[in-house]
Amino acid sequence: MHTTSSSTHFVTSRVILDAQAKASYAPLENHAGKRALVLGGGGSAGNAWLIGVLAGLAQAGLDVTETDLMVGTSAGATAAAQLGGASAAQLFENILAATLPQPRTAAVGGSGASSRQTSNHMERTAKIIAAAENPTDMRRGMGSGALEMAEAWGEDGRSSWRRTVAARFSSQDWPECTTLLTAVDAGTGEPVVFDSESGVDLADAVAASCSAATAYSIGGRGFIDGGYRRNENADLAAGFERVLVLSPFGGRTRHPLEWNMQLAAQVDELRSGGSAVETIAPDPASLEAFGTNMMDLSTRIPAARAGHGQGEALAPQLAEFWG
């Protein structure tokens, strides 16, 4: 993994909705504590892998969901919300129980659908990244296209996406531990964070964090995938003694390394600030389970099983770190 020191300052605001449901921004408070769990994005396969790893760790006696802070991005935001109403073991069993074939539509971690749509989205966003001068420019480019698609999507599409997202977790209440779910304002390109104090329903926050192709409207503003803020957003755990990062994409980035969007730069920053950091990336068995399209719902069972095995194997060496 490439490691580079970061000199880039990332400003993030919490989104707060007023009585007129218009989004406004407030500075994100600095959190501090002993343990933070960071759940990165990675589509349907990545969400299942995250659940599998957490369940495998718990099976081996290490429950890392007992944490002071959870940071969730895209598929990781879905996982964080799911953990608010069920244990990792329960969520893992739910994945294994979903044995019937499922269509490749409304996949976890994005509002895209088929393999072809996923390919088109990747091609379009690659051009935006290549043409951008910096992360803010890139985010605005991503947001502009997503807002255009939202116009065609309409309110029916938004409502359908929200129902799909809300059905993924049993409790619609924010998790008890401090939970930060990332997104980006599609209009301004400003990185934002939703939390329990935002006045935003959990389902809306997750839907926004997962909206890779189409902007999701909350309070009259459009929001897009939190992975456009930074890939795993582990830097939001600054100030915590121990930070465990689960990255379905294994720290890979599509952005120029000098932008310091990649996980390695975030880990450098955390360690420079005094945090002890451990990361978990997919092993070869998990990568094989993912296949070539992480949005494909048929990958969920093999990805969860591979993640479970990986979590069980890693538990002994992480036990002392997590404390």
- Average of per-residue pLDDT across 50-79: 98
Identify whether 107 is part of a domain. no
Between residues 242 and 11, the one the model is more confident about: 242
Exactly one of 44, 74, 211, 275 is catalytic; which is it? 74
How far apart CA 14 and CA 30 sit, in angstroms, is 11
Q: Tally the C-alpha atoms within 13 A of residue 291's C-alpha that lie toward its C-beta.
A: 15
Residue 210's pLDDT band, with cuts at 50, 70 and 90, is very high
- pLDDT over 70, % of the chain: 85
Residue 123's pLDDT band, with cuts at 50, 70 and 90, is confident
Identify whether 194 is part of a domain. yes
- Average of per-residue pLDDT across 41-57: 97
Exactly one of 185, 195, 225, 296 is catalytic; which is it? 225
How far apart CA 123 and CA 223 sit, in angstroms, is 21
- Average of per-residue pLDDT across 211-223: 93
Identify whether 128 is part of a domain. yes
Residue 204, by phi and psi: left (phi above 0), alpha (psi -120 to 50) or beta? alpha
For the cut 60, the answer to whether the pLDDT of residue 238 exceeds it is yes
Between residues 71 and 109, the one the model is more confident about: 71
- 17-21, 118-122, 180-184, 267-271, range with the lowest pLDDT: 17-21
- Average of per-residue pLDDT across 204-219: 94
Identify whether 143 is part of a domain. yes
DSSP state of 174: P
Q: Report pLDDT for 32.
A: 72
For the cut 70, the answer to whether the pLDDT of residue 203 exceeds it is yes
Residue 77's pLDDT band, with cuts at 50, 70 and 90, is very high
Q: Report pLDDT for 103.
A: 41
Q: Report pLDDT for 298.
A: 94
> Which residues, 6+ apart, have CB-to-CB distance to 165 below 8 Å?
78, 203, 206, 207, 210
Nearest 10 degrees: Cα torsion 194, 28, 3, 288:
-10
Q: Report pLDDT for 172.
A: 95
- Average of per-residue pLDDT across 78-96: 97
74 labelled catalytic: yes
For residues 235 and 191, the answer to whether their CB atoms sit within 8 Å is no
The candidate with the shortest Cα–Cα distance to 253, out of 79, 72, 125, 80, is 125
Task: Supply 157's token pair.
Answer: 């599409």
How many domains are contained in the chain?
A: 1
CA 175 to chain centre: 15
Between residues 12 and 315, the one the model is more confident about: 315
Q: Report pLDDT for 108.
A: 40
Task: Supply 247's token pair.
Answer: 């990255």
Task: Supply 20's token pair.
Answer: 């007129």
* 238 SS3 class: coil
Count of other CB atoms within 10 angstroms of residue 267 = 23
> Which residues, 6+ apart, have CB-to-CB distance to 111 below 8 Å?
161, 210, 211, 212, 213, 214, 216
173 labelled catalytic: no
For the cut 90, the answer to whether the pLDDT of residue 227 exceeds it is yes
- Average of per-residue pLDDT across 226-249: 96
- Average of per-residue pLDDT across 223-229: 95
Domain hosting residue 80, numbered range:
34-97+123-322
Enumerate the β-bridge partners of residue 33.
240
Residue 59's pLDDT band, with cuts at 50, 70 and 90, is very high
How far apart CA 243 and CA 234 sit, in angstroms, is 8
Average pLDDT of the residues of the chain: 87
Enumerate the β-bridge partners of residue 24.
16
> Which residues, 6+ apart, have CB-to-CB distance to 94 below 8 Å?
86
Identify whether 247 is part of a domain. yes
For residues 179 and 80, the answer to whether their CB atoms sit within 8 Å is yes
Identify whether 114 is part of a domain. no
Residue 116's pLDDT band, with cuts at 50, 70 and 90, is low
How far apart CA 170 and CA 252 sit, in angstroms, is 31
How far apart CA 169 and CA 245 sit, in angstroms, is 22
- 146-155, 179-188, 283-292, range with the lowest pLDDT: 146-155
The candidate with the shortest Cα–Cα distance to 178, out of 240, 227, 246, is 240
Identify whether 151 is part of a domain. yes
Identify whether 282 is part of a domain. yes
Q: Report pLDDT for 245.
A: 98
The candidate with the shortest Cα–Cα distance to 37, out of 176, 245, 212, is 245
